[in-house]
A and B are shown apart, each in its own frame.
Chain A
Amino acid sequence: MKNKYFEWINNNLLNTWYNTIITIFVSFFLFKITKSMILWFSSVSWEVIPRNLKLILTGSYPVGELWRIWVILGVAAFLAGVSYSLLKKGITGTALFLIIIPGSFAFLNFSSGSRIWLIILSILQIFGYLFARYIAGEKSKTVIIIGWVLFLPFMYLFISGFTSSEGILPIVKTNYWGGLLLSMLISITSIIFSFIIGLMLALGRRSELPVIKYFSIGVIETIRGVPLITLLFLGYLVLPLALPSSVTPGVLIRAMSGIILFHSAYMAESIRGGFQGLPKTQYEAAYAMNFNKFQSLVLIILPQVIKNIIPILVNSLTGMVKDTSLISIIGLLDLVGISTAIAANPKYLGDSPQVLLFLSVIYFILCFSISQTSRKIEAGMNYDNKEAAK
């Protein structure tokens, strides 16, 4: 056993004389950096994070209504649990990780209410999985599709509320939404809408009709040529001018319109890549089966294209989450906006590094898990394609 470790070190760290030197140097610097980081960690006060945790996660969403967000998370956990049943080899490492994470957070020093909710999130995922496996069975696919489609409107309705202040779901105005909640809401909504617009633009760009084709090309290339922030300002400042004076869109919608416009152009190009990746024989086969253009598009081409670009779509969600941070520039209190607000608070003078580090960790966990999921899906699809080719 000892020999094996020794062999590994010999092969990977000390295989040539210059690698040995590099290893020694790098280890030395790594040690130095780690040491100074640990020193820094222990020297600064981390009070600012727990004190502002609620603000960072949900902004100024009323404390009495926080249960709504937990319910939304619970529904998402249940749907996620049901979705795990689609995995071919049963529960995989990733799914297990997602199940364990909320439960393990319950051991941290949160309020008792939050701890119970966190445990419930874990249990709901397991329950969803078992429900799909043993009760719904074959029908679980329908449950998944309908569930996720209804999830977005349900989420909005639940978070914004619709009754007066005496009712069960009093209205919470959008300017109370903030932090991670706002970032995620905008990301998820924007990706759905930009997919729809992107699909239309991609189809337009492939169209034989010159007017539609050049219109789509013009829109896509213009948007891809300018930074997101100009579009954000366009949505924020110019959109209210361009709409009839009777319509006054809220700040959230104005901000989102810029993000959606921006990402739909990039999405259109991804989708176009998906169209180009499809073998020509598929079109010819559809034509030979006497399908007309519309039928072959909807029944033959699109399902395959969408399936092929699912990994790209999931991956573009990371870009969306990252780009959402820009809304703080136009004054919305998303994760970054909240951090700026905390930095401006004289009580937390000089605590900016800790807050920004915490933000980075949140963003990293979000984006890294999304991109890993996309890789997993891609690997699974390559496996499927190889199986089909056999």
Chain B
Amino acid sequence: MHLTKFNDDRVIKIAGQFIFAAFLIMIMSSMYGNTIAALTKRGMLPGFKFLSLAAGIDIGEHLISFNNSSSNLRAIVVGLLNTLSISILAIVFSTALGLFIGLCRLSKNWLVKNIALVYIEVIRNIPLLVLLLFWYRAVFMGLPHIKEAITIGKFQTSDGFTGARLFFSNRGMVLAWPTIGTGWSSYIYIIIGAIAISVIFGIYLNYRGKITGRKPMTLVWSFLLFSILCFIGWLLTPEAPLVMEYPQLKGFNTTGGLSISSEWGSLFSGLILYTSAFIAEAIRAGIQGVDKRQVEAARSLGLNSFQTTRLIVLPQALRITIPPLTSIYLGVAKNTSLGVAIGFPDLFSVVGTLINQTGRVLELILVVMVIYLTLSLSTSLIMNIYNRRIQLEEK
């Protein structure tokens, strides 16, 4: 009897799944049919051949060469590179700022603690879009015209133009930036040598650490050694490896230096402000999540305040912080898509323009979704591996 009941249950389950799958396929195929019919009416059968056609658009900021006869595919790649570069920079800077604010939030100073609290609460309760628009419309667009740009370190060049360390106008920011000088080709060998020496030193430190049982600060010491070697190398190279290039104002344009558009600046500053508040909160939760008795135990074992933080609090706080941090980082990459609201040519914004240009809605949205999915899944894969490495190994 038991057996037949088991069988019945299984039959119901399989039948249920079958009906569900059939239902799903029915809906999907009907939607697909409708879409194809609608597209055929417009004379545009779905396909990806259009990707190799000329895009016919201009993109203000591109990391690889691009002009309006480049292909649609290249336009998408330009957008993707913009998204990636601004995401990575925003993640690095907002982690630094978030760490600082998170630590301020835990400060014993009442004033510092509460300023951090107000910052976190205010930023977290305002939409990112409003922040971005604020930066763009209120801050950057409120700056003077390029002719009356705010300048720092103004000087006159020999050919009569105005040069400066920094121009700040409603078109964005242009600042002095180091460029490769004549000594670069010899200096690069010094860098390679410095890397090799500091890696060997790091391996040696780890080896020492295993013998003595004391955890070495490998990264800190190796990096310090690397910097010192690079610095000495700089002094030894006869010609300067990098030279400062100062921007100059020529007519309504600037030449030289590093140019940051107001769109890039707004998106970057808005993202950093927004993300740092969330990171600060995650870091605060992580540090406060470490059991107070752990600190007390460490102190009673004779560890000083720095050792307690480095060896006891931080590793445990990291365990709590990594999972929320992962989703915050993923959020940054997705939030760059709001660049479309202020005209920054990120992946989504470029695709939006291409949709208007080519009318290829279905294919282009599919491409965007697949790219974002790949980004998200690979990031979360990397973070999961890191997370597994630092998690407590329970026996």
CA distance A199 to B34 in the complex (A): 29
Residues of chain B contacted by A210 (CB below 8 angstroms): 17
Interface string of B232-266 (1 = CB under 8 A from A): 00000000000000000000000000000000000
CB of A323 within 8 A of CB of B127, answer: yes
Q: Report the minimum CB–CB distance from A255 to chain B (whole Å).
A: 14
Are B376 and A224 in contact, with the CB atoms below 8 A?
Answer: yes
Q: How far is the CB of A132 from chain B (nearest CB, A)?
A: 30
- Number of B interface residues, CB 8 Å? 54
In the complex, chain A residues whose CB is within 8 Å of the CB of B108: 12, 15, 19
Q: Which of A245, A357, A364 has the most CB of B within 10 A?
A: A364
* Residue in chain B with minimal CB distance to A211: B17
Q: Is A244 at the interface (CB under 8 A from chain B)?
A: yes
A366 to B16 alpha-carbon distance, docked (Å):
44
Which residues 219-236 in A have Cβ within 8 Å of B in the complex? 221-222, 224-230, 233-234
Main secondary structure, interface of B, reads helix
**Does A241 lie within 8 Å of B38, measured CB to CB?**
yes
Would A328 and B129 be within 8 Å (CB), given that A241-B361, A245-B38, A364-B122 are in contact? yes
Q: How far is the CB of B265 from chain A (nearest CB, A)?
A: 16
- Evaluate contact between B141 and A237: CB separation under 8 angstroms: no
The CA-CA distance from A211 to B38 in the complex, in Å, is 30
In the complex, B45 has a CB within 8 A of chain A? no
Interface residue? B219 (CB, 8 A): no
A317 to B352, CA, bound (A): 28
Across the interface, which residues of B come within 8 angstroms of A12, CB to CB? Answer: 108-110
- Complex contacts, B369 vs chain A, CB 8 Å: 222, 226, 230, 234
Q: Tell me which of B55-63, B171-179, B305-313, B337-345 binds A.
A: B337-345
Q: State in angstroms the CA–CA spacing of A22 and B31 once bound together.
A: 63
Residue among A30, A227, A321 having the largest count of chain B Cβ atoms under 10 Å:
A227
Stretch in B132-140, B146-154, B191-199 touching the partner:
B132-140
Shortest beta-carbon distance from A7 to chain B in Å: 13
Binary contact readout A241-253 vs B (1 if CB under 8 angstroms, 0 otherwise):
1111100000000
Chain A 290-347 interface residues, beta-carbon cutoff 8 Å to B: 318, 321-323, 325-326, 328-329, 336, 339-340, 343
Question: A326 to B348, Cβ gap below 8 A?
Answer: no
A371 touches B (CB below 8 Å): yes
With a 10 A CB-CB cut-off, give which of A240, A241, A339, A357 has the most chain B CB atoms.
A241
For B35, B115, B133, B348, which residue has the most chain A Cβ atoms within 10 angstroms?
Answer: B133
B355 at the binding interface (Cβ < 8 Å): yes
Is the pair A26, B142 in contact by a Cβ cutoff of 8 Å?
Answer: no
Docked Cα-Cα span, A329 to B339, in Å, equals 11
Within 8 A of B (CB), among A336-376: 336, 339-340, 343, 350, 352-353, 356-357, 359-360, 363-364, 366-368, 371
Contacting pair B129 A336 (CB below 8 A): yes
Chain A minimum-CB-distance residue to B352: A233
Instruction: Return 12 A-B CB contacts under 8 Å, by A number.
Output: A13-B111, A19-B109, A23-B109, A208-B13, A224-B376, A225-B377, A230-B368, A244-B34, A329-B338, A336-B130, A356-B134, A367-B126
Other A-B pairs, 11, CB within 8 Å; known A226-B334, A230-B348: A209-B17, A212-B20, A226-B373, A229-B348, A230-B337, A230-B372, A245-B37, A328-B341, A353-B138, A363-B127, A371-B125
